[in-house]
Chain A
Amino acid sequence: MNSSALTMLLVSEITITLFTCYFFYKVLTVPKKKEPDSYSDN
């Protein structure tokens, strides 16, 4: 793989993966709000 293709791939995919993981991790770990909230299982 040439270096410019590799650079584009790595920068794009690492950036997107980090943002995806960060936001999903926050969704999983943010404290729940007081009832009644929007979610029936909470």
Chain B
Amino acid sequence: MKKMLAVLLTVALVISSAAALAEPVTVKFAAQADPTPATQAVVDAFNASQADYKVEWVDMSNDSGAMREQLTTSLKAGSTEYDVISMDVVWAGEFAASGFIQPLDMMLEDAGLNTADFNAGSMASGLYNGKEYVLPFFPDLGLLYFRKDIVSEEDAAKLVAGTYTLDELLAMAEKYMGQGGTTTGIVFQSSLYEGLICNANEFTANWKDIKGGLEMMKKFTTSKAVPQNILNYTEGETANSFIKGESVFARNWPYMWGSIKSDGTIKNDQVAVAPLPGGSTVGGWLLGINKNSANADGAFAFIKFLNSEEGQVIMSEKGGYLPGLNKMLTDERIIKSDERLGMVGFQNALKTTIARPVSAEYSKVSDALQQAIYPYLSGSAEIDPTVTAVEAALAQ
């Protein structure tokens, strides 16, 4: 009897320990290769933080267009090969409309998370038909860089606070142009490509004032404060001009801070950043969950972890990524690892982020907007038909 009891106990022990040692559920995470160690570090930290799930990173094509096709082909077929999906901000509308990803509102609410806690522009990019489909992976945003060694203190304060108008900005660009070795007042992106839409989004204050905004944009492009070939400017030309000390003002993404450090003829202490009056267009990437995922809980746990204090600190320290969780913008650990966040102007810009149009067919909308706006800027179309064309494109 005793022997039998012992055997039973042993069996029970083996079974229970086997249950405890059960393999963690694998969660597949589709993302591009990260030039920094941050993404891998977050994945490792998540896997170490709990025993239920194990995130496996599936490398996607580094060519964003190719990655989008890879994802849509797989998701269209109802495949479950990816659980967590990273997306460029402009894909979320299409993925949500197609029914490829699942809305997160209920999970967010159960987890006690509020959409307002995260980067507004990123969250707006993933809001489709009133449902929220994403959390940020890492946000990116448009900034106004200016030379604080040239601009007067009074003007600088106004810029940093974001209480200036575009008219005043143009006046400043014209006024300071030529000082301190500069040759142009302001540079931004207005070539015929996606960057034109990012800039037009800011000029029109998220398409609220299309006519006024586009007329203002044209006022800039035809001003003497910009280079003659401003209509060919992309981020590359913009950065080139600013970091070589040729321009007083420049609209560009946060990466240019690093370019000034590594390649600039000017120094970072000559530069400050400011929010844009119409809001800062959001770029960067988002995270969503495959609609057909069998491990939605694990997928959400990972997304939540990346957007937790711990995850955000890793992303910032290991990769210099901006936090998508708003409260981390003022977190000491993050400000210590990312000096950009110590600037008041940068903090202000992060508060006024705006999204590009959220559409099921974003590439088509973007293309139509480019084809409508560029001819107006280059002088081959009038404002009224341009506004009509822009409105039509946005209504798609």
A is bound by B: no
